[in-house]
Amino acid sequence: MSVEQQDERTIRCLVAKVGLDGHDRGAHVIARALRDAGFEVIYSGLHRSPDEVVQAAVQEDVDVVGISILSGAHKTLVPRILDGLREYDAFDDRLVLVGGIVPDDDQPELRDLGVDEIFGPGASMAEMIQYIREQAPER
Amino acid sequence: MSDLVDELLAGKHGALARVITKIENRSPGYREVVSALHEHTGHAEVIGVTGSPGAGKSTLVDKVAARLRDDGHTVGVIAIDPSSPYSGGAVLGDRIRMASNAGDMDVFFRSMSARGSLGGLSTATTDAVTALDAFGKDYVIVETVGAGQNEVDIVRTADTVAVLVPPGSGDDVQMLKAGILEIGDVFVVNKADLEGADRTVQQLREMLQGRSTAGHHGVSGTEMAEVTGTPTEKGAPDETEAWEPPIVETVANRGEGVGAFLAALEDHGEYLDRTGGREQQARDRFAAAIRTLLREDANRLLAAELDRQGGIESAVDTVMARETDPYTVVDEILAPLRACLDEE
């Protein structure tokens, strides 16, 4: 039949720009690369609040929450997103990734809070895609 | 499994989201979930919104959802985007336009990709509407690009279909001839502040006058009279009123005309109630759903039977060698099924 059986589930990723950071070129590149890797990408658009990111992550039932922050406000914004995800029971079965500029000193704190991985400026797309394929939680 | 159904019915957003994921993936057990939800449905008003890319569907849906929320209603939105036919991936960007409902959990917005599953998408959409209806949403809006039969099938899940037309050279209106004109209950000329809007409205009006009186669901007056038997129509189906699709002008990004658009939707809803069209549409939808499922399931059974009898390749080999022919092959495969049916 023309309708192929979908044995392999499609991985859904949210690419979210949060806060007062207007630089979305990187997020666009990532969104496109994830699409080309066969993922479904929900792109949030610019200037999203943590609430909106949580709303999108819950409603879209994404496997991966990708937060792009270049503004330096990660220490306030990321914890609020993580709290929101926990509030809706949407934390345990989701990967939370942060991309952008996060100083080395801040990284342990974010990981302790529940961020699974942080991708800085040097990270390659192949690396990120492989990480998602390997780590996306079984449901 | 039934936990998921219970949680959805109890109003947990995460459960609703997970049910729609199961529906999309056709995960094991999704049929049981949708079956269990069916008895809780039938309360939502379902609106389909379609139109060419860039017509302003997402922006209008955002404003409509916000207005409905102001009036105290809950809203579910399913936005369908085409996916890449090469990788199976997709970027679903309709959420970008959801600015008016930021952080409002009572607007449940879900993006779905077409995933290249021709035909299957309308089933998935119908099932997703079922989930949102059972969840208790007052309004469910299904939004999709209006390009082809697939989309036409999708918007048929709606009680009322709105077709968006951007002002333009007239080519857009010409394009509507190909099937879209027939399915619209309400037409919207969005971006009505742009040059050419008046002309587009004029062209639309002319084309709609040439439209056949039968509604997009092919409901004839006689059928409706049979179903409803309303006293005013007794034995005189000719008097059944026909719906004349209104043309509404909007500037969605500024929120202009949204009230008029909602009023037009409401008018059509009342028309459906008055004429019994709503019930007839529901009957038609369920009939289509049963036929589709029957066809899909039967196809799957037959594919398995074909494999048991040696597979398609060996059948093709014999046909290629002129030992047999396609008709005979099919007769042989269906022989056991026919035998079963004859026993009845």
CATH number, domain of A113, equals 3.40.50.280
Chain A positions with Cβ closer than 8 Å to B? 1-6, 9-10, 12, 31-32, 34-45, 48-49, 51-52, 54-56, 58-61, 88-90
**Average pLDDT value over all residues in chain B:** 83
B254: contact with A, CB 8 A cutoff? no
Nearest chain B Cα distance for residue A105, angstroms: 31
pLDDT over 80 (residue A76): yes
Between vectors from CA B274 to CA B205 and to CA B160, what angle results, nearest 5°?
50
Average pLDDT value for residue range A90-101: 91
* Residue B214 touches chain A, beta carbons under 8 Å: no
Q: Contact B335/B308 with Cβ under 8 angstroms?
A: no
CA A124 to CA A134: how far, in whole Å? 16
Whether the per-residue pLDDT at B150 is higher than 90: the answer is no
Among chain B residues, CA nearest to A39: B89
pLDDT digits (tens, 9 = 90+) for B282-325: 999 899 889 988 998 898 889 998 998 889 999 999 999 999 99
- Looking at the domain assignment, is residue A82 inside a domain? no
Q: For the segment B188-233, what is each residue's pLDDT rounded down to a tens digit? A: 998 888 888 888 888 888 888 766 544 455 444 333 333 333 444 3
Beta pairing class for A95-100 and A64-69? parallel
pLDDT in tens, B179-190: 677 788 999 998
Q: Taking residues A80-90, what's their average pLDDT? A: 93
pLDDT value of residue B56: 86
- Nearest-Cα distance to chain B for A113, in Å, is 21
A55/B102 Cβ within 8 A:
yes
Model confidence at B144: pLDDT above 70: yes
- Give the DSSP H or E segment for A96: strand A95-100
Q: Is residue A115 part of a domain?
A: yes
Q: Any CB–CB contact under 8 A between B87 and chain A?
A: yes
- Confirm whether A35 is domain-assigned: yes
User: b/e map of A59-96 (b: 16 or more CB within 10 Å)?
Assistant: bbbbbbbbbbbbbeebeebbbebbebbeebebbeebbb
Q: Are B25 and B121 in contact (CB under 8 A)?
A: no
Does residue A47 fall inside a structural domain? yes
Q: Hey, of B8, B20, B21, which one would you mutate to test binding to chain A, going by the most A CBs within 10 A of its CB?
A: B21
Distance from the Cα of B39 to chain A's closest Cα (Å) equals: 23
- Nearest by CB to A6, which of B25, B92, B102? B25
- A1 found inside a domain: no
* Interface check B96 vs A, CB under 8 A: yes
Residue A7 placed within a domain: no
Q: How far is B248 from chain A (nearest CA, A)?
A: 29
- Mean pLDDT of all residues in B89-114: 84
Q: What is residue B313's three-state secondary structure? A: helix
Q: What's the number of domains chain A is made of?
A: 1
Question: CB of B93 within 8 Å of any CB in chain A?
Answer: yes
Residue A121 lies in a domain: yes
- Residue B79 zone, left/alpha/beta (φ > 0; ψ -120 to 50; rest): beta
| Residue owning tokens 């079956």 | B35
- A51 to chain B: closest CA residue: B103
Catalogue all structural domains in chain B, each as residue range(s) with its CATH number. 40-291 (3.40.50.300), 309-343 (no CATH)
Distance from CA of A62 to the nearest CA of B (A): 9
A125 in a domain, yes or no? Answer: yes
Residue of A37, A41, A45 with shortest CB distance to B96: A45
- Token output for A83: 């709290």
Q: What is the pLDDT of residues B242-260, one digit of tens each?
A: 899 999 999 988 889 999 9
pLDDT, mean of residues B152-156: 73
Q: How confident is the model at residue B86 (pLDDT cuts 50, 70, 90)?
A: low
Full residue range of the structural domain in which residue A102 is found: 12-73+90-134
Higher-pLDDT residue of B82, B136: B136
